[in-house]
């Protein structure tokens, strides 16, 4: 059982090796603009999950997934040579849901801003239901004495 620090180092190294291989060695036209976002390795260093994103439409995503599945053995061989450890982990390519999550958050923020702007417009046109200051205040004493009090 490997420690988590070693697994993290191996995952970082796998990430850079896979990205390098995809950028410089894969000459398939179907491969889209792919970014390796994360790699997670099991504790025994036997399996690695490679998360990736593809810039483009659904067709580009599907074609990139096909290329990654076709090239999985070659990529694993390159990773094995670059890692230099006894056992090379098996690779699993998983499309990352990060862009969809970010788009969802951007949509939620946009809706919140629209609601805030609507509330601000309603507040600007609002008037008080009663007096401007609804609280009672104590009577202010007069500075001039009453004439009726002086006569007594």
Domain count, the chain: 1
Q: Are strands 90-95 and 33-41 parallel, antiparallel or unpaired?
A: unpaired
CB-CB contact of 82 with 98 (8 Å):
no
147 lies in some domain: no
Domain of residue 92, residue span: 4-96
84 lies in some domain: yes
pLDDT at 151: 52
pLDDT (tens digit per residue) in 30-40: 888 898 999 99
70 pLDDT band, cuts 50/70/90, is very high
For range 47-54, the mean pLDDT: 93
Portion of the chain with pLDDT greater than 90, in percent: 48
Q: Locate 66 and state its tokens.
A: 């096909």
105 lies in some domain: no
Identify the CATH number of the domain in which residue 36 sits. 3.30.300.20
52 lies in some domain: yes
pLDDT at 124: 86
For range 62-89, the mean pLDDT: 92
């Amino acid at each position: 059982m490997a420690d988590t620090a070693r697994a993290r180092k191996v995952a970082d190294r796998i990430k850079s090796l896979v990205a390098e291989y995809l950028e410089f060695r894969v000459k398939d036209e179907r491969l889209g603009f792919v970014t390796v976002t994360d790699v997670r390795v099991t504790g025994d260093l036997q399996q690695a999950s490679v998360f990736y994103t593809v810039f483009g439409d659904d067709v580009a995503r599907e074609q990139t997934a096909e290329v990654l599945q076709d090239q999985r053995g070659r990529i694993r061989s390159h990773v094995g040579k670059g890692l230099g450890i006894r056992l090379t982990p098996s690779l699993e390519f998983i499309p990352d849901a990060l862009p969809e999550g970010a788009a969802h958050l951007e949509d939620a923020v946009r809706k919140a801003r629209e609601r805030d702007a609507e509330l601000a417009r309603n507040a600007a046109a609002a008037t008080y239901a009663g007096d401007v200051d609804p609280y009672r205040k104590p009577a202010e004493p007069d500075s001039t004495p009453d004439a009726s009090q002086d006569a007594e």
